[in-house]
Amino acid sequence: MQSFEVEVKSLLGSAERADEVRRAMWKADPTCALKSKNKQLNHYFAGGSLEKLAETITSYLKEEVRKKLGDLAMRGKNFSVRTRNKDGEVLVVVKASMDDTTSENGIARMEFEEKMPMTLEKLDSLVLYSGFTYQAKWSREREEYVCLGTNVTLDKNAGYGWLAEFERIVNDAALLEEARNDIRALMTKLDVEELPQDRLERMFAYYNKNWPEYYGT
């Protein structure tokens, strides 16, 4: 079954502001707790085609997973491909926008994420073989919470400082607007401001030009 994600970002900046958000979550939802803490390397790619990528990695995917990737390629407005090392677990990730925002940082997106039995370097080589080129490499430390039914991550990103992401995942595109409203209601309760898409795109473009200065720091 295809899943859809609604994700809204907020730039926190300082560690002190991240602490304020943690306290606000615990106040709003006493059951809120740290679910996971991990370190990630994320490699973003540009160009290429999903059809070629699917063909290249098909031997590593189950049939239903291949179908899901094909469905995403047909239904998404545009897509972004990335590879990820999450505490030693290697994944291929594809996100396609369902609205007029971008696939890299959009609010409503279809998402494909699959664990791959190889190193990050090997997976990167398969993506590059499929006609993609490196766009940027990111490193971050991530904390994962669930607050009032919304997935909340606090990320310490090299280059951005602290960033909060609020996410809900639904299995029906008709539920996307309701999910958006739920997220924004929680952000209001936590006194967190949404990062405007135009500013987010400027930040993303700047990082893409300067990522070697930040990656791994």
3 state SS of 64: helix
71-173-48 Cα angle (round to 5): 35
3 state SS of 125: helix
Position 77 scores a pLDDT of 67
Distance of alpha carbon 61 from alpha carbon 75, whole angstroms: 20
In this predicted structure, the answer to whether residue 11 has a pLDDT above a threshold of 90 is yes
Token readout for 161 is 């400082």
47-56, 93-102, 113-122, range with the lowest pLDDT: 93-102
Q: Taking the CB of residue 81, how many other CB atoms lie within 10 A of it?
A: 23
Q: Taking the CB of residue 174, how many other CB atoms lie within 10 A of it?
A: 8
Structural domain boundaries of the chain? 4-213
> Which range is most confident: 5-9, 60-64, 139-143?
139-143
The CATH number of domain 4-213 is 3.30.465.10: no
Distance of alpha carbon 78 from alpha carbon 102, whole angstroms: 7
For 25-42, the pLDDT digits (tens) are 999 999 999 999 999 999
For 83-104, the pLDDT digits (tens) are 999 999 999 999 887 655 444 4
136-140, 163-167, 208-212, range with the lowest pLDDT: 208-212
Q: What's the mean pLDDT when you consider all of the chain?
A: 90
